[in-house]
Amino acid sequence: MAHSVLSHGLWVSFSTYGTIAPDVARRLIAAGRASEAYDILRASMTREAQTSFQAFNSKMDEVYEDCLNQMGKLDELKAHLWTRFKDSLSARALRDYLKLLPDFDDVEAEETALDVVEAYPRLAATISFLVEWPALERAARVVLARRGELDGDGYTTLTTAAEALDARYPLAATLLRRAMIEDTLNGAKSTRYRHAVRHLAECQASDQAITDFGAVLTHQEFVAALREKHARNYGFWSLVDG
């Protein structure tokens, strides 16, 4: 028999509780019954935390945050926002968290938060967050430091980041484009050859702006390595040399 709870005068199955709880709570908040809404939301969130599959419920989050604000539970609200940010790199949660801090404290807190972002295990999420925040210097630093983790299959994220970094951080932009080129050639993804050719041309265009490649291959060295490894990708090289 499914477990159930009494909510707003109705018995509600836990199997659907997480779906309807935000709407029930929203109506209670509007009626000035925030404490009842809080109990419902906490019960639903506890139930969801105990399931084997946990999905981020943005609607639940927003109503819960509104409820905490209405009840003046600002410390709990700050803790919730910080946890949400750390778990999912939610820019919205971080911005709302920073707004709750006293003047000047938010500056230090932002730096701490961006340190968290840099260390986040999912590199694509890290790059995307830092580019969109924006914190381009940090984004470039992460690309250089974690270049071995770059997944060239993430075309949308890497292309957007490369375009954002190109003017001020051409080496980082080049590494992002190289990752996409290598992914295309390693997988013989012929439908993406024209994109890879464009990325290679963009790498060449950035070459003169890069004053120090450090431990990274120069553009000429990278192209030579590509030709050696992927000599049989005739379709690609015919586009490059054509």
Q: What is the pLDDT of residue 1?
A: 35
Blockwise average pLDDT, block size 10, the chain, 242 residues: 43 53 91 92 82 64 94 96 95 97 94 98 98 98 97 97 98 98 97 97 96 96 97 95 88
In the chain, how many H helices and how many E strands? 13, 2
Whether the CA torsion 159, 86, 144, 148 is positive or negative: it is: negative
Q: What is the pLDDT of residue 58?
A: 76
Among all chains, which residue has been given the structure tokens 């000599």? 231
Q: What pTM did the predictor assign?
A: 0.85
| 190: number of Cβ within 10 Å | 12
Structure tokens at 184: 């295309």
Per-residue confidence (pLDDT) for residue 102, from 0 to 100: 92
Closest CA to 172 of 196, 197, 136: 136
Contacts of 7 by beta carbon, 8 Å cutoff, 6+ apart: 17, 21, 24, 40
Write down the pLDDT at residue 10: 44
Q: Which of 182, 167, 164, 85 shows the shortest CA–CA distance to 127?
A: 164
